[in-house]
Amino acid sequence: MQAWLGLGANLQQPVLQLKEAVKRLGQMAGIEVSQVSSFYRTPPWGDVQQDDFVNAVLQIETSLDPLDLLQCMQSIENDMGRQRSGNRWGPRLIDIDLLLFGDQIINGKALRVPHPHMHERAFVLLPLAELDEELEIRGHGTVGSLLAHLDCSEIYALDESAGG
């Protein structure tokens, strides 16, 4: 199954945190990393009194079901030192979100896919568009058409990426 993951960090060398998360995801049984976007410096969302974030998107192939994939992602976050403070949009060492899981719609207590509000967030759509701007977000439209309505003026690609 094809899935799309969003990564973000703004603490303790965020570029290195994202590189480490990509590496760990690629080492998990049942996950193969197919594509990694550039890394983007983005302004904070929600709680704006914090450092800028570094964000990226991964396309993966997985044999895991959505909840098992979520558990793997959370295990990596925990192993990397993620502390869940309860501050929904606060600073983070690493954040890995399941954005899309094939064309499935999941509205469970532990997981909602497509990821809520991803269609409104340039820091998700810009790296996603780099990989596939024709990708359909069910109920909202293509990544490229959604991105055309968002302000990306404060988001820029970094020279460093998962391979750099």
| 112 contacts 145 by C-beta, under 8 angstroms | no
Residue from 151, 115, 159, 127 nearest 58 by CA? 127
Burial of 123 per CB tally in 10 Å (0-12, 13-18, 19+): buried
Q: CA-to-CA distance for 109 and 94, rounded, in angstroms?
A: 22
Point out the residues that are catalytic. 82, 92, 95, 97
Phi, psi dihedrals of residue 90, rounded to the nearest 5° = -85, 180
CA distance 83 to 66: 23
The kind and range of the H/E element at 72 are helix 66-79
Residue 142, exposed/middle/buried by CB under 10 A (0-12, 13-18, 19+)? Answer: middle
